[in-house]
Structure 1
Amino acid sequence: MKLKKILVAALAVTMIMGSSSMAFAAEQKGEGAGAGDLDVVKDSDVFSVVVPTDAGTTFDYIVDPLGVIKETDAEKYGNKVFEDGPTVFFQNTDAEVSPGEYNYSGTSNKLKAINKSTKAVDLSVEATLTGTDEVTMAEASTVTGSTDVLLNLQLNGGAAGAAASDTAAIGTSNADAEITAAIDETANAYETKYVNGKYVKQIKDSLTDDDFEAYEFWLTGKANASSDWADVTTLPEVNVVWTVTGEGAEAGPRVTLSQSGLITVSGLTADANVANGNTDIKYGVDGNLYGADNANVTWDTTGWNKDTGGTLKIQMNHAYNVYNGKKVNVEVKLTNGTTIKCGTVVNGL
C-alpha cells in the first residue's frame, strides 16, 4: 500500500507540473517576418526570325529563248552546266557540280525564313519590275502560242523542303507580285535558364535550324521561243523585298529603303546605335558604297538620340537620280559591331 501511495503522488506531481507548463506556454508570444522571392521569366516571349539580309545575285537571270547557250556548249559562261529545257536561267552555283546537278537552272536558289520565335510570325514577299518597255510580262501558262515578245517571271513560295504552295506572276495584271505566309512556332523549343542573375528563355542546345518551322521563296521564269528577240536590248530588272512581322518584331534594329530613296533605320538602342552617320551608314550600287553625304541628303533626327537610339531617317535628293531604275544597297554599322543591310530598286529620285 505504501508503494501505491508513492506512485499516486508521483502521478499527481506530474500532472501538476504539466498543467503548470501548459499555462506557461500559453503566456508566450512569438513574432516573425518573411520576405517574398518571386521566380519568373520576365521576357517569356521571344521574337527571333532568321532571314537573309541581302539576296546578292540570287535573282539575276538569263533569257535564252532559242537555246543558243546549249548549242554553243555554254562557252560564253565558261562551259558551265546548264539544265536542259528552260528558256530562263538562274545561277545556282559557280563551283564544280556532280552529275544531275547544274550551275544554271530554271529555278533560282531558295531563300529561307526560319521562325525561332515562341509565337507564329507573318512573312510577306513582294516582287516588282522596272524597265519593261521592250517586253510584255505574261503568266507562265500564256507565254507560248504567240509571236509577241513575252516573258514570265514568277514568285514562288512554300514550306521549307516542299513544292510551291503560293505563286504570283510578276508585272502582269498587277504590277507587283506578293505572297504571304504564316510561319508557326515550334513547340517546346525553349527552356528556362538562370543567366547573369535573371531567368531567360533559351533555345534548347539539342536543336538546329532544321528543327524549326521555315518558309522558302524563289523565282522561276519562261520566255516565248516563238518571238523575235533580236531587237530586245534591255530586260526588266526584278526587285524582291521580304518583311517579317509579329509580336516583338520591332525589338531589334532594322533598315529599309523606299523606292523614293528614303532610308529608315529603326529599332536603335543604347547598345545598338549609330555612332557616325557619315561613315556608319553607307549606300550605293554595283558594290560601290559611300558614306552619307550631308550635302546630298536630308536628315531627320527628331526620333533619334545619340545615347538611347530610336529612329533615323535619311532622304536622298535629286543628286542621286542616276540611281533611278537601279538596285541601291544600304549597309548600317551599329555600335555593337553588327551590320544590318537592305536593297531596293529606286525610281523616284
Structure 2
Amino acid sequence: MTNTKFGGLTPAVSLLIGAAIAIAALGFALVIGETRIPLDSVWNVLRIEAGYPAPEVNPIDHGILWSYRLPRAIMAMACGASLALSGVVLQALLRNPLSDPYILGLSAGASTGAVAVAILGFGAGALTLSGGAFIGALLAFGFVAFLARLARGNSAAATSSLALLLAGVAGAQLFHALTALIIAKSADANQARGIMFWMMGNLSGSRWPDIYLAVPVALAGAGVIFAHFRALDAMTFGREAAQSMGIRTGLVMTILIGTTALLTAVMVSMTGAIGFVGLVVPHAMRFLVGVRHVRLIPASALAGGVFLILADIVSRILIPGQAMPIGVVTALVGAPAFAIILVRSSRAHSG
C-alpha cells in the first residue's frame, strides 16, 4: 500500500530520496564554513583518503575537510538520528506527543553522569563518559516516571500528559542543578568554561575516535528500534491493547527505554545536551509519512540527521568568526514547535 501523504511513493523510493537528501546535506556541511572549499576538492580528498588516485589538494583544505568537517558532519548525522529515534520511541511508549529526551530530563541526567565521571572521577576510572551518562539518563528517567506517577495518583485533575511534562521539567532542573553543583565545587575555571559550552550542545570537538563509537551505537540502536516497529504500533493504543495482541509489554518497554537511554547517553557524552530534535522531527515525519512505525522510524532517523547537520551549518555561519552552540539553533526551531504541539495537545484533551 502506498502512502498518499508522501505523494504515493513506495517505501523504497521514499528511502532513496531520503538518502539522497542526507548525502546532499553532508556535502553542504563539507563545503560551507568560514573557509569555503570547492566541491571538487571535497571529492578529491575523499578519493585520496580512500586510496584512489586524485589530484593533490591544498594541505590546509585537506586537513579542514578530513580532520574537522567530515567527522563533525557524521557526528551530527548520528546524533540527530539517535535523538529523533529516541523521540519516536518515547512518544509511542508513553503515549505523549511532548515526550523527548531533552524535555523529559534524560539529556540532563546524562549530562550529570558524564560530568560526574569527568570531574569527580565517578567509577574510579572503570567507567567511561558514555557509561556515566547512561547511568545518569536511566536515573533521570526513573525519577521522572516516579514523579509523574505520584502526580497522577494524588490529583485527579492532572492529565497524564501534564503530569509527565511537569515531572520532566522538575527532573531536568534537578539534574541541571546537580551538574552545576559538581562544577562549582570541583572544577577549575578552564574546566567550568569548557563544560558550560559543551552543555549547550557543541559538535566542534568531534573527531574520528568519537565517530567509531557514535556510528555503531546509532546503527545498533536504530536496528533494535526498527525490530520492534509492530510493538510500537500496538503500544500507541495502550499497554492493555498491546497485551491483547500478544505483545510482552514489560520486556518491550525495558528494551526500548534502555536503548533510548543508551542512544541519548552516548550522544550527550560527546556533543552535550541538544534539545528538541526528538520532539520536532517525529511530528514532522508523521505529517509526511504517517503514523505507522515501519515508515516513521527510518524517516525520522534520516530527517533527524539532516536537521542536525543543517542546524550545525547555521551555527557555524550565523555569526561571522564565531561558532554558536548548536543547542541554541535547535531551540530557536524547537521552542515554537513545542508551544504549537502543547496547545494542540491541550485542545485535544479538552475537546
Higher normalized strand content (fraction of residues):
1
Please give the TM-score of this superposition, normalised by the length of structure 2. 0.23
User: TM-score, normalized by length of structure 1?
Assistant: 0.23
More helix by share: 2
Question: Which structure carries more relative contact order (alpha carbon 8 Å, separation 6+)?
Answer: 2
Structure whose CA Rg is larger: 1
